[in-house]
Structures are given as structure tokens and as C-alpha cells.
Structure 1
Amino acid sequence: MSVLELRDLRVTYAGDVPAVRGVDLSVAAGEVLGIAGESGCGKSTITNAVLRLLPRSAEVGGQVLLDGEDVYGMSFGRLRAVRWAQASIVFQGALHSLNAVQRIGRQIAEPILLHSKVSRREADKRVAELLEQVGLPARRARDYPHQLSGGQRQRVMIALALACGPRLLIADEPTTALDVMVQAQVLDLLSSLVKDLGLSMVLISHDLSVLGSVCDRVAVMYAGRVVEQGPATAVFDDPRHPYSAALAGAFPRIGDERFRYSPRGLPGDPPFPGDLPGGCPFHPRCPIAVDLCATTEVTLAGVGDGRTSACLRATERGLDLRGAR
């Protein structure tokens, strides 16, 4: 049984704005799934949908299953027990997620005291263990968030997410605001925690190179749908959708000849969810689009080696998905 399974997940915001349009994804025990895409493609909406953190005005369809149990069929009491203890989230902005006027030790201890029913002394001991686990000395429990660097605050967020021993960790662009060196440290930390603790993880990023180095599988999203899915290294090295190819080319590998002439972006912007073009929603920006792309709604189809792509031309031989033959 999958730790997390999304079945035909659909999320529509107020004003009839379809942010997520029929997404099917699963995460096995001990697996790391990456979700990639530009801002506005629906990545964070999926994150918030997993634990019912969406605004009340949002309409949700389909199913979100945690260990086989439908999150949207849970009572609030059951949902409260599942949050933290079964699945937890590391948000993008640690400074905005932490309470500025509480010491970090108290913030980490709060969910432990709530869910584990332990004494304050036992909770403090667990806080010290968690801080050591994420590479911070236990004495930093007495600090306030502003006394920590960006990378240290992100480590605190990871410790907070691990406080109650969840099986699933969701990391929503956890390294976006960090410099390259600290980003690498945080990613190494997440990878080691997944391995050491046997966690499953969903890692969300716009950077395919990050996902390719950390994840087992990657799902690439565009306009609220998954347009390609497969093994992480394969999606990065040999994308089978032109949008995946554009993302991969935007983050080339230094010293790799294949990326020397890669594009550094795409013309235009992603479509507004409330005003999607007909056919394939990527066709107005696609370098290999044909007339049929503007009228045919493409769904995911197998392209070999456990990979799927939503592109009419994905299986054409000799075709460079970056637009050159």
C-alpha cells in the first residue's frame, strides 16, 4: 500500500479557477517523489491539499489517501491526530513559519506535548535530540528565530516536521531562499534523514537539477496537470515532454557538453488557470508544437521504461524536444 496516493485530485479556487486538474500520484514507503514546475502550476496547492490546508472557499474533488485512508473523509479530530504524527510539512519560508516571539525549543516541543502525551522534561529531551539530528547543537533551543541564519532556521523547520515521527514528509521548496552552499547542505540533510529514518518524502521545486539529485521519481506539472512522470535521472537527462526539457535546460550541469547550448528559459508566461488555451495548454509556448496540438487534449501515455508523457510528439524518433532536429 502506498503511503500517499492522489486519485484524480481536482482543486478549484473561488471564481472558478482550476488550480489542479485531475492529478494521479503515489508515493511508496521509503520513496522520494519530486514535483516540478513553474510558479502557478499547482505544486503548492497539492501540498496544502494533502493535509486539508486549503482555504475554505476551495472546492476539492477526487481522493487524497494517507495509508489508504481518505483525508477528506476524516473527522477534524482524526485529521488533527494525522497532522504531525502521520504526515508533516516543511514550508518554503522558515522565518514566516516560525513564531518570532517564542524560543525555538518551545515551538518544537509544542506538537510533541500535544500528540505524544509526555512530560515537559521528556519533550525537552526529544527537542535536544531533534536539533542534534538536523545538525544544530541542543543549546540553540534557547534561541529565537531571528538569532539563527536562514539555513539554521530551515533546519529548525525540518526538526519541527520530524517532532512526532511522521511516515511522510512534504518539503515545499525548502531551499528556495538559501544560497547554493546552504541549499546543498539542507538537501544532503533531507536525503540522509529519509534514508536513516525510513521516511517517504514529497519534494517540491522548480529546479529539475535539485530533484534529479535527490528524488527517486519526478512528476512535472504544467497548468494544473502532470505532463511527464518517471525516474528522476531519466526525466532530467532525457525529458520526453518539451516543458520538462525547458526546465532541465534552465538549470544546466556545469561541464556537461549536452547543456552548452541549452535554452535558458521559455518565451511568455504560464497560462492563467481561469483562462486556459484549448488543446495542449503548453502549445502556445512549445517550440515543437504542430496544428493538432491546439485542438487535441493530450493525456499521459506510456513512453517506455516506466515513464509517461502528455505530448503528441513524445515518441517521435530523432526529435529534439528542445526544438532542434
Structure 2
Amino acid sequence: MSLLEIRDLRVTYGSGAAAVPAVRGVGLSLAAGRKLGIAGESGCGKSTLALALLRLLPASARLSGEILLDGEDVLTMRWGRLRAVRWAGASIVFQGAMHSLNAVRRIGDQIAEPILLHSGATPGAARSRVGELLAQVGLPDGRADAYPHELSGGQRQRVMIAMALACDPRLIVADEPTTALDVMIQAQILRLIGGLVTERDLGLLMISHDLAVLADVCDRLAVMYAGRVVEEGPARDVYAAGLHPYGQALSAAFPRVGDPGSRRAPRGLPGDPPDPAALPPGCAFHPRCPVAVPVCAREEQELTGDGHRAACVRPGPSRPSGPPGRPS
């Protein structure tokens, strides 16, 4: 049994004629000890998917499908059971640690709060656990008395990771955990997260717009566009030999180390993802696709393939030269 199984998940905001589809029929799975990356541009549904996993979306959101965490459907849980699952069963590392931490409370108290709430530990035991967690993420115990503004960006992100680990969850969802960090601190944080997943047999679902980061950290990678998964497979294969033109364009947008041509002229993708309230007919990507054919404007493709799947009428690594195709 998978640790996390997402089946035909659909999320819309609003209702009736004004309903806006943000996630459209997503199906993914994640086993314990494995790392799944979710990539895509802003507005493609990544964060909505992450928040849906623990029903953290606003009241205007409507969800359908199944989100099975250790075989139990999060979408049908009663409120009391859901509160127990949050932190203890699954936790989230939000992007922007400065905005997620309480600016007027010491970080030790913030890390201890879920421990006291979910484990029934004494204040002394919770304080001892805080010291252990800070050590795990590479911070001295003395920093427990600091306020968030007294820490660097990388240290605050480490605090967020410590909080996510506080109640020994089985699943960690990391939503753009390194977006605001410099490249050196980003590398440290990513090594830290990857090491903890392996050592503690956790499941990690990591969201980013950066395919290169996800390919380096994750085992498998799913690419989202306009609320759907358009490609999914082994992370390095999706990054280096994508089957869908959108995944190829994301990969080509990043300069390659040792490739002067890609550094001087990285190939991006013109335009923006469509407005979810006004999706084009057929494949939502076809207005931006360099290899679209007439059927793309009429029919939306389903994921096909074995191991490495793509939702494309012409899946394959061979594309015409020029932007936004994959690098040669």
C-alpha cells in the first residue's frame, strides 16, 4: 500500500457558473522513503494540490476524488480525526518562513506547541524534544529562545522543517521550501530534507517551479499545467528527456552547466498559463505548444505510457529545434 494515494482529485473555487477549476483529475502515489516532485509555473495548481492534501483550502473550495493517507481518505475524515492527522500523520513546510512563523513568539515555543497538543508531553519533555529537533536541522539548542527576526532566512527555514518533524509525521509536504534562499543555503536545506526522508523512512512531496532542483532531490517528478498532470516519471528522465513539450520547455528554461550556449540564450516559453476560469478547448497547452496539431485544439489527452507517462498526442523526446524545445 502506498503512503499517499491521490485519485482523480478535483478542486474548484466557487460554485455554479462561477466555479473555477484549479485541480482537474490529478492521480499520483507516493511510497514511504520516496520523494515525489511537483513542478509547473505559477497558477498551474501546485499549491492548491498541496493544501488539499490536509484540507487547508478556504471554504470556497470544493473537492472531489480521494486522498488516501495510509489507506484513510482525508476528504471524508471527521474534523476531530483530521486535527489528529495534521502534524502527527502529515505536515507541511510552507514557502516563506518569515510569514509562517509568529513574529512575537520565541521559536522554541512555536516548535513545542504541536508536541504539547498532539503527544500530551509535559513542558519539560517538549522542551527536550525541541532541542533534539533543532540539532537535527543543524541549529544550536540556544536558538530556541530567539524570535524569528533574529534568525537568517536559512535558519528560519530550518525552524519550519523542525516544526514539520515535531510529531514524527509519515508524510512531509514541502511547498517551495527554498524559494527565497541563496543557492548555498538552498543546497544545504535540500540535503537536509533528503537525508531526513531517507533516515526516517518518510514520504516527501516537494513542490517547486525549478525542474533542476526537483530532478536532483526527488525520485519521481510530475509536471502540472492548467490543473492537470501532463507528465510523470523518473525525475531525471523527465528533466533530461521529457516526453511532453511543456516539461521540455520548463527544462530548457534553465541554463545547463558547461553549456555556454544555454547560458547566453536560455530557451523559455512565451506567454502564460491560461486563466483557469477560461481554459481553451482541447489540450490547455496547445496555444503555447510549438508542435501542436489540429487534434490538440479539440481533444484533451490522458496520461499514457509505462513508468514515464505523458498526456500528449505526440509524446517523445524528438522535437523541432528552437524555443521552447528541449536542449540538444
- Using the TM superposition, name which of 238-247 and 256-265 deviates more: 256-265
Question: SS at the partner of 1:20?
Answer: strand
2:157 maps to which of 151, 154, 169: 154
Q: CA deviation at 1:252?
A: 2.7
Q: Are residue 182 (structure 1) and residue 182 (structure 2) matched?
A: no
Pairs within 5 Å for 1:175-254: 175-254=178-257
- Among 252, 273, 283, the alignment partner of 2:286 is 283
User: Which residue pairs with 1:312 in the alignment?
Assistant: 313
Tell me the amino acid that sits aligned with residue 4 of structure 1.
L
Residue 99 of structure 1 corresponds to 102
Equivalent residue in structure 1 for 2:60, among 57, 61, 64: 57
Q: Choose which of 137, 144, 147 in structure 2 pairs with 1:144.
A: 147
Deviations, residues 46-93 of structure 1 (Å, cap 9, x unaligned): 100000001111110101110000111111110011000010000001
Letter in structure 2 aligned against 1:18? P
Mapped to 2, the partners of 1:318 and 1:97 lie a distance apart of 42
2:86 corresponds to which of 79, 83, 86: 83
Residues 7-52 of structure 1, C-alpha deviation per residue, up to 9 Å, x if partnerless? Answer: 0000000131000000000101111000000001000001000000
Task: Choose 86-95 or 314-323, whichever is displaced more.
Answer: 314-323
Shift of 1:263: 4.4
| Cα pair 2:248 2:326 within 8 Å, conserved | no
Alpha-carbon separation, structure 2, partners of 1:323 and 1:181: 27
**Aligned partners of 2:243 and 2:317 also within 8 Å:** no
Deviations 1:96-115 (A, max 9, x none): 10000000000000000011
The match for 2:28 is 25
Alpha carbons of structure 1 residues 11 and 123: separation in structure 2 relative to 1, 3 Å: same
Whole-Å separation in 1 of the counterparts to 2:316 and 2:176: 31
Tell me the alpha carbon deviations over residues 181-222 of structure 1, each in whole angstroms, 9 at most, x when there is no partner: 111111111111111111110000000000000000000000
C-alpha contact (below 8 Å) 1:220/1:227 kept by paired residues:
yes
**Partner of 2:171 in structure 1?**
168
- Indicate how the Cα distance of structure 1 residues 237 and 259 shifts in structure 2: closer, same or farther if over 3 A, else same: farther
Q: Which residue of 1 aligns with 2:9?
A: 9
For the 8 Å contact 1:113–1:119, the answer to whether it is kept is yes
1:202-259, Cα deviation, whole Å (9 max, x unpaired): 0000000000000000000000000000000000010000100011011232114795
Q: Is the 8 A contact 1:287 1:323 kept in 2?
A: no
Change (3 A) 1:223 1:125: same
What is the distance in 1 between the residues matched to 2:241 and 2:165? Answer: 34
Instruction: Give the TM-score normalised by the residue count of structure 1.
Output: 0.96
CA 1:317–1:96 in structure 2 vs 1: closer, same or farther (change >3 Å)? closer
Q: Which amino acid aligns with 2:24?
A: R
CA RMSD of aligned residues (A): 1.8
- Residue pair 2:234, 2:308 contacting (<8 A) in 1 also: yes
* 1:257-272 alignment runs, 5 A limit: 259=262, 263-272=266-275
Structure 1: which 5+ runs fail to align? none
Structure 2 unaligned regions, length at least 5: none
* C-alpha distance in 1 between matches for 2:53 and 2:175: 12
